Amino acid sequence: PTAEDRQGVLGRSNSLPSHLLKNSTNPTAPALRDAISHLLFDVSDKDASKFVENVGYGFASGFLFQNNVPVPASSAATFRKGDCFGAQKLVNPITGQFLDREKIADVPEMTDEEKEREAERLFVLFERLKKTGVVNIQNPVEKAVQEGRFEELSDDCVEELD
């Protein structure tokens, strides 16, 4: 993908590389999907790290897992790519987009009540999963209590941090 493609999330512009990336995840054309993924991997010198840098981990992960290619440890780290002026910019390793071009979600901070409701909802979901027996799962709060890492605090307790 070009520097222009990296202004947005990879695979969303009208350029040829974007169309190739879109079709590399096309579930209705598995032969085309595999051919494109192999082509992009070959263009990346069959190097998984280069492949992730070129197309982003989001597009690379399926191919790497399907073909038993070890996922590089560096795939989660941001890396630098040149923009259209030759300046090196940080790139999001998942989307392949320049970090300075990412849109930050305008979501308000959760209130304490919302956080508590969400925690209760998650607790119920953990309990349901445990009862089904499909997965062997343990509630993280329950585990912390058993290990002695959980401390109940009163509402008026304030802890000073250095």
Q: Per residue in 150-159, pLDDT tens? A: 677 666 666 6
Q: In the chain, which stretches have pLDDT less than 50?
A: 78, 83-85
Range of the structural domain that residue 142 is part of: 112-146
Structurally, how many domains does the chain consist of? 2
User: In this structure, are 116 and 53 located in the same domain?
Assistant: no
CB–CB of 52/72 below 8 Å? yes
pLDDT at 159: 62
User: In this structure, are 53 and 97 located in the same domain?
Assistant: yes
pLDDT at 97: 66
Asked whether residue 55 is assigned to any structural domain, the reply reads yes
Q: Which residue has the tokens 């069959």?
A: 46
Asked whether residue 64 is assigned to any structural domain, the reply reads yes
List, in order, residues 6 or more apart from 153 with CB less than 8 Å away.
none
pLDDT at 83: 47
CB–CB of 96/56 below 8 Å? yes
User: In this structure, are 65 and 16 located in the same domain?
Assistant: yes
User: In this structure, are 93 and 117 located in the same domain?
Assistant: no
User: In this structure, are 118 and 40 located in the same domain?
Assistant: no
pTM for the predicted model, two decimal places: 0.54
